[in-house]
Amino acid sequence: MALFYLIAGWIGYVLMCLLGLILIAFLCFCLYIKYIHLKYDHIPGPPRDSFIFGHAATILRETRNGGVINDKFLEWSETYGPVYRINSMHIVMLFVTCPDTTKEVLMSPKYPKDSLVYKGLFELFGERFLGRGLITAHDHDVWYKQRRIMDPAFSSLYLRGQMGTFNERAERLMDKLADMADTNTAANMHHMFNCVTLDVITKVAFGVDLDLLKESDTPFPKAIEMCLKGMVHYFRDPTFQLYPKNKKFINEVKKSVQLLRTTGRQWINKRKMDIQNGEDKKTQEVKMRSLCWTTLARDNSQSTSFCRHGTGKAARDIGKVLKETLRLYPTAPGTSRFIPNDITINGIPIPAGFNSYICGRLDKFFEEPLKFDPERFHPDAAK
């Protein structure tokens, strides 16, 4: 019995010590959050929902209610000016719409990609996703090297040489639409354009003919869509994977990631065999390094750049439509950068060590910003 009391006493003592350490750690964390608040609270911003979690509750509420969080960011920008802050625990993010700062931050290699964001793309719900490819490389030298290797495959000269492939895919789309019109079948144009875009990229970059308009049951486009949806939930809601109701969706995302990486591995192995059989090594390296970018980004500024090939008014009109489309519906509504040094934005001193989020779509830059008007980009339009 005495031994039992001795063991119980030791267990109680250990538990009390652990609780004390946890309490001390929590208090230190709270003090650090307070220090962060004091350091950045001179910057305008919406009131925090809570001391610890900052604006996280508002962001989660907007996303879970089906709202577009970027509309909330736009509302805050109109209320608090061209630079404002939001907090989430010890993390501070600045949202910037100042043109001069936007140009400086995005064009200078002094401001690297935010590792908090881009390292998160290494895996998705525990499944290896983009790894250390071009999209996730936050070291500028590494990124520059990979980008230079990729550039020739997406140069204007190379794309002009692929006009036959582009025209062939366009003809397939027109034939498909004609068949659907003859049978009075509704066409999901968003899905069909996605299929054509992916078809063109895989054919031009890898020599793979998916023919997605005909093979409607192929899982490839669906897998990309699931990965992109998973990225949104993974970044915007850290608690998303803790809820049992989301387990089915998470498993689907993991299977989609596995499918894309398996497909990429097969294509790369095929290219290696082609290289061994005497194909040009440099060309194949370009194609292999493009896999991550092609499969998961589908940046329509690249995938539609071939439309600019042409002469006269038609080419100019297409260019205006593409620019206005990307202005109103950008592939990425903002870009995150880490600021390592003190800077001043719009007269507000900003200490180093924060993440900036560059965003746009404000009426001070474009009259009636929500109106689709390609004539904004006419050469003679007022700037």
pLDDT above 80: residue 62 = no
* Bridge partners, 88 (sequence order): 91
**Which of 298 and 7 is assigned the larger pLDDT?**
7
Per-residue pLDDT at 122 exceeds 60: yes
Q: What pLDDT does 10 receive?
A: 78
Q: Which value, to the nearest 10 degrees, does the dihedral of the CA atoms of residues 50, 51, 52, 55 take?
A: 50
CB 358, CB 326: distance < 8 Å: no
pLDDT, greater one: 311 or 95:
95
Residue 24: both structure tokens together: 């001390």
pTM over 0.95: no
Strand duo 348-350 + 343-345: pairing:
antiparallel
Give residue 255's pLDDT.
Answer: 87
pLDDT confidence tier of residue 27, bands split at 50, 70 and 90: very high
- Looking at every residue in the chain, the average pLDDT score rounds to 74
* pLDDT average, residue stretch 236-248: 80
Which pairs count as long-range contacts for 47-52, CB under 8 Å and 24+ apart, including other chains? Answer: 48/87, 52/89
Lowest mean pLDDT among 112-121, 243-252, 260-269, 303-312: 303-312
Tokens of 136: 């996730």
pLDDT top residue among 198 and 30: 30
Question: Average pLDDT for residues 304-326, to the nearest whole number?
Answer: 62
Residue 55 has pLDDT above 80, yes or no: yes
Q: Tell whether the model's pLDDT for residue 119 goes beyond 80.
A: no
Q: Tokens at residue 292, please?
A: 């991550």
Comparing CA positions, the residue from 354, 357, 332, 330 lying closest to residue 343 is 354
- Beta strand spans in the chain (E): 83-88, 91-96, 123-124, 127-128, 334-339, 343-345, 348-350, 354-359
pLDDT class for 352, splitting at 50, 70, 90? Answer: low
The four Cα atoms 160, 283, 197, 269 give a dihedral, to 10 degrees, of 160
Provide the pLDDT confidence category of residue 383 given band limits of 50, 70 and 90.
low
Q: In this structure, are residues 326 and 87 in contact, taking their beta carbons and an 8 Å threshold? A: no
Cα(184)–Cα(368) distance, integer angstroms: 37
Residue 297 — very low, low, confident or very high, per pLDDT cuts 50/70/90?
very low
SS3 255: helix
Most confident of 61-65, 86-90, 297-301, 365-369: 86-90
Does residue 184 or residue 213 have the better pLDDT? 184
CB atoms inside a 10 Å sphere around CB 67? 12
Rounded Cα distance, 338 and 44, in Å:
19
Q: Are 78 and 362 in contact (CB under 8 A)?
A: yes
Instruction: Say which residues have a Cβ less than 8 Å from residue 69's Cβ, sequence separation at least 6.
Output: 59, 62, 63, 236
The pair of structure tokens assigned to 231 is: 């990225």
